[in-house]
Amino acid sequence: MREVCVLGVGMSRFGKFPEKDLLELAVPAVWEAIKDSGVPAKKIQVAYCGNVMGKHCLGQRILVELGLTGIEIVNVENACSSGSTAFRGVWALIASGAYDIGLAFGAEQMSQKVEGAIQLDQEDLETGQGLIMPTLYAMKANRHMQRFGTTREQLALVSVKNHAHSCHNPRSQYQKTFTLEQVLHSAMIADPLTLYQCCPTGDGASAAILCAKDVAACYQSKPITIAASVLLSGRTNMEPSEMASSELTRRASQAAYDMAGIGPQDLDLLEVHDAFTIGEILHYENLGLCPPGEGGRLVESQQTWIGGRIPVNPSGGLLSKGHPLGATGIAQIAEIVWQLRGEAGGRQVENAKVGLAHCMGGGVGGVDGAACAIHILKR
Amino acid sequence: MREVCVLGVGMSRFGKFPEKDLLELAVPAVWEAIKDSGVPAKKIQVAYCGNVMGKHCLGQRILVELGLTGIEIVNVENACSSGSTAFRGVWALIASGAYDIGLAFGAEQMSQKVEGAIQLDQEDLETGQGLIMPTLYAMKANRHMQRFGTTREQLALVSVKNHAHSCHNPRSQYQKTFTLEQVLHSAMIADPLTLYQCCPTGDGASAAILCAKDVAACYQSKPITIAASVLLSGRTNMEPSEMASSELTRRASQAAYDMAGIGPQDLDLLEVHDAFTIGEILHYENLGLCPPGEGGRLVESQQTWIGGRIPVNPSGGLLSKGHPLGATGIAQIAEIVWQLRGEAGGRQVENAKVGLAHCMGGGVGGVDGAACAIHILKR
Cα separations in angstroms, B15 against A165, B223, B319: 55, 29, 12
Please list every residue in chain A whose beta carbon sits closer than 8 Å to the beta carbon of residue B74: 76, 78, 85, 89, 231, 371
Same domain, A214 and A324: no
Best residue in B69, B108, B110 for a mutation probing chain A (most A CBs within 10 Å): B69
Same domain, B274 and B233: yes
Inter-chain contact A64–B366, Cβ cutoff 8 Å? yes
Residue B119 located in a structural domain: no
Among the residue ranges B26-40, B97-111, B115-129, the one predicted with the least confidence is B115-129
Neighbouring residues of A311: CB distance < 8 A, sequence distance ≥ 6: A268, A269, A270, A304, A305, A349
Residue B188 located in a structural domain: yes
Inter-chain contact A60–B92, Cβ cutoff 8 Å? no
**Mean pLDDT confidence for B296-302:** 98
Instruction: Name the residue among A72, A75, A367 with its Cβ closest to that of B64.
Output: A367
Residue B16's CB is within 10 A of a number of other CB atoms, namely 18
Among the residue ranges A66-80, B45-59, B302-316, B363-377, the one predicted with the least confidence is B363-377
Domain count, chain B: 2
Same domain, B152 and B245: yes
Best residue in A27, A96, A133 for a mutation probing chain B (most B CBs within 10 Å): A96
Instruction: Name the residue among B60, B96, B362 with its Cβ closest to that of A92.
Output: B96
Same domain, B257 and B360: yes
Distance from the Cα of B166 to chain A's closest Cα (Å) equals 30
Inter-chain contact A55–B235, Cβ cutoff 8 Å? no
Distance from the Cα of B291 to chain A's closest Cα (Å) equals 23
Write out the residue range of the structural domain in which residue A91 sits. 4-113+203-224
Q: β-pairing, B72-77 with A72-77?
A: antiparallel
Strand spans (E) along A61-195: 72-77, 101-108, 188-190, 193-194
Among the residue ranges A178-187, B101-110, B238-247, B248-257, the one predicted with the least confidence is B238-247
Same domain, B67 and B190: no
Establish if A266 touches chain B: CB-CB under 8 angstroms. no
Inter-chain contact A75–B72, Cβ cutoff 8 Å? no
Residue A119 located in a structural domain: no
Please list every residue in chain A whose beta carbon sits closer than 8 Å to the beta carbon of residue B56: 52, 77, 79, 362
Residue B118 located in a structural domain: no
Instruction: Name the residue among A63, A96, A231 with its Cβ closest to that of B96.
Output: A96
Same domain, B169 and B20: no
Is the peptide bond between B192 and the residue preceding it cis, with omega within 30 degrees of 0? Answer: yes
Would you give the DSSP letter of residue A53? Answer: S
Q: What percent of chain B has pLDDT over 90?
A: 85
- Give the span between the Cα atoms of A241 and B285, in whole angstroms: 62
- Give the span between the Cα atoms of A94 and A92, in whole angstroms: 5
Best residue in B1, B42, B56, B235 for a mutation probing chain A (most A CBs within 10 Å): B56
Establish if A89 touches chain B: CB-CB under 8 angstroms. yes
Instruction: Name the residue among A64, A234, A365 with its Cβ closest to that of B365.
Output: A64
Same domain, B158 and B240: yes
Inter-chain contact B371–A73, Cβ cutoff 8 Å? yes
What ranges in chain B are assigned the alpha helix state H? 22-37, 58-65, 82-96, 125-128, 133-148, 152-166, 180-184, 213-216, 247-260, 277-286, 295-300, 317-320, 325-341
The complex's ipTM? 0.95
Same domain, A351 and A303: yes
Same domain, B171 and B142: yes
Residue A131 located in a structural domain: yes
Task: Please say which residue of B190, B224, B258 terminates a domain.
Answer: B224
Please list every residue in chain A whose beta carbon sits closer than 8 Å to the beta carbon of residue B121: 55
Distance from the Cα of B118 to chain A's closest Cα (Å) equals 13
Residue A158 located in a structural domain: yes
Residue A327 located in a structural domain: yes
Establish if B114 touches chain A: CB-CB under 8 angstroms. no
Would you give the DSSP letter of residue A80? Answer: B
Active-site residue B372, yes or no? Answer: no
CATH number reported for the structural domain that contains residue B12 in this entry: 3.40.47.10
Among the residue ranges A60-64, A131-135, B196-200, B277-281, the one predicted with the least confidence is A131-135
Q: Which of residues 229-248 of B touch A (CB under 8 A)?
A: 231-236
Neighbouring residues of B207: CB distance < 8 A, sequence distance ≥ 6: B9, B10, B11, B26, B29, B30, B32, B33, B34, B103, B104, B105, B106, B330, B334
Active-site residue B273, yes or no? Answer: no
What integer pLDDT is reported at residue B130 of this predicted model?
77
pLDDT band at B365 (very low <50, low <70, confident <90, very high): low
pLDDT for residue B116 is more than 80: no
* Residue of chain A whose Cα is closest to the Cα of B57: A78
Mean pLDDT over all residues of chain B? 94
Same domain, A232 and A338: yes
Task: Please say which residue of B155, B189, B224 terminates a domain.
Answer: B224
What integer pLDDT is reported at residue A129 of this predicted model?
77
Cα separations in angstroms, B67 against A234, B209, B211: 11, 16, 20
Would you give the DSSP letter of residue A341? Answer: H
Residue B291 located in a structural domain: yes
- Residue among B271, B261, B265 at smallest CA distance from B227: B261
Average pLDDT, 10 consecutive residues per value, chain A (379 residues) = 96 97 97 97 97 94 93 97 98 96 98 79 74 88 96 98 98 98 97 97 97 92 94 78 81 97 98 97 97 97 98 98 98 98 97 97 72 97
Same domain, A131 and A45: no
What integer pLDDT is reported at residue B237 of this predicted model?
60
Q: Are the C-beta atoms of residues A364 and A370 closer than 8 Å to each other?
A: yes
Annotated active-site residue in A5, A49, A80, A198: A80
What integer pLDDT is reported at residue A346 of this predicted model?
97
Please list every residue in chain B whose beta carbon sits closer than 8 Å to the beta carbon of residue A120: none
- Give the span between the Cα atoms of A239 and A368, in whole angstroms: 11
Q: Are the C-beta atoms of residues B230 and B259 closer than 8 Å to each other?
A: yes
Tens-digit pLDDT profile for residues B84-102: 999 999 999 999 999 999 9
Same domain, B273 and B330: yes
